[in-house]
Structure 1
């Protein structure tokens, strides 16, 4: 078993430095592959989303205020972004994600769970070692699986730069 790279103090969570597992993904990199679970427990990989521009909206937990707002915001944006898939990635259980989406009226974002093995978290360098949560981040991947936008939010309780992510997705169309 290969141990993931550890990046101590890469971000803070409620003001406390935390360690992120995995390498930092940068603009221009090939998007790393991953396997997460859809709400019906079926696997979802990078290849399953190929052929469209993707926004990966990464949140610690849908049951928190900023994560809720982030997912709702990208749901609104996705309604007018034809040709763009938006996936919200968290370690929430698929059942909880499905329940939350139903209660929140989320129709344009697909929630996927990384709870099983932190595949996405380690591949994109967003797994928080101390908490087994994912750090808040946004990645935009073009149709050719190239990363065209990468934002690691320095304080996990802050919002990402929504406008920059949406603009990067539009440019990648």
Structure 2
């Protein structure tokens, strides 16, 4: 369990993030076409999992834009932006922003991703949403980097995550 804050107020997450060197748990998430995708669909690719509470907040939207900008320079790497927003909201955002380098996925249906990855918020006004986390996986699904952003209102450390792919 991680302790995170929102503007100084303390909250907890359920479980622990996958640690460096561990195999990431499989997941079933919904894409913008309402199709189920899972981790094995990306076998052989490096992945950046940009996880956040809601695309309709400024910091979350900024993280998606930042990773979209950086993604085109990454070889054999996909950026998966994951939240519990409905796929319709994710699709609207991607279209409005003309984002082409990130893949939006939703955990709204099974609500299992947050629990499996130890990042679901347990209490407070963000209860049951996903906390702000960046996880980088290698081609075999092993964790290269995991950052739990301790203050929800802050952006992740983009450079730290991207350096693991150099």
TM, length-normalised to structure 1: 0.90
DSSP-derived class of the 1:86 partner: strand
1:4 matched residue in structure 2? none
Match of 2:158 among 158, 162, 173: 162
Report the number of matched residues: 163
TM, length-normalised to structure 2: 0.94
RMSD: 1.1
Contact in 2 for aligned 1:61/1:91 (Cα 8 Å): yes
> Which runs of 5 or more structure 2 residues have no equivalent in the other structure?
none
Match of 1:141 among 126, 137, 142: 137
1:40 matched residue in structure 2? 33
Offset, 1:13? 2.4
1:102 matched residue in structure 2? 95
1:127-138 alignment to 2 at 5 Å?
127-130=120-123, 131-138=127-134
- Stretches of 4+ aligned residues off by more than 3 angstroms: none
Offset, 1:105? 1.1
Contact in 1 for aligned 2:17/2:146 (Cα 8 Å): no
Offset, 1:115? 1.1
> Which runs of 5 or more structure 1 residues have no equivalent in the other structure?
1-6
1:3-82 alignment to 2 at 5 Å?
7=1, 10-82=3-75
